[in-house]
Homo-oligomer: A and B are copies of this chain.
């Protein structure tokens, strides 16, 4: 498991659910529902935060809510739709500060950091397809807010959308990589250092520097610099700088004076 995809069932039903348009207009006979959709979704988020998305089984969630497993299907058509609701709920709850700067780059940087913070707070988000979730109120509000970071930067509408997609895709990509690393570490039950120590001999025998000169030089340098094969924090900082520079170029501006840029320097081998 660990995956998602949305509404195998009626997509319109999902949309109604997202916008909380479930029709309570009709007769309303029978027993009153003891719970609300919001309670269910909120509890699911709690569970996912605490134990990961895989732990959000219909049984486990029902147990936490004190109802029978099948009782969940009263509120939610299925697991996929539940996850859609969780995602949109999180989006809806994101802080939307009034942008205080006229610099689009700073605004967009803030957007990237906000998104990254969400992935950090809810690690299970990396296991969800955030690219194409059904259009809920949270998603829409988020889109509106984030687009405004690019308003007035001289981009056409289509480019504005593409630029935002680009930035968000980058952040998600980083988050997923970070999550993969975390999962790998948990599974292997050993720290990066231990793993390296255990497998270095085998790897050294395989990957001889004569056949793979560049890989061993660069790989070693990167490994030593980061203390691991991959450093999420560094990858994010580095990548975000590139992303923003790339967009700067689109707007015909030169990248800003190098702030934290390390001097390019060849490591001797």
Residues of A within 8 A of B (CB): 1-8, 11-12, 15-16, 19, 21, 127, 129, 131-132, 135, 137, 140-141, 143-144, 147-148, 151, 154-163, 165-166, 169-170, 172-174, 176-177, 180-181, 183-184, 187-188, 195, 198-199, 202-203, 206-207, 211-215, 217-219, 221-222, 225-226, 229-230, 234-235, 238-239, 241-252, 254-255, 261-267
Contacts and interface: CB of A to CB of B under 8 A. Distances in A.
A223 B199 CA distance: 50
A203 to B, nearest CB: 6
Contact of A215 (B144, B154, B188): B144
A32 to B, nearest CB: 26
A245 B253 CA distance: 12
Residue from A141, A165, A241 with most neighbouring chain B CB atoms (10 Å): A165
Secondary structure at the A interface, as helix, strand, loop or mixed, is helix
A266 B176 contact: no
Contact of A255 (B11, B203, B249): B249
A15 B202 contact: yes
Contact of A19 (B3, B206, B213, B245): B206
A249 B221 CA distance: 23
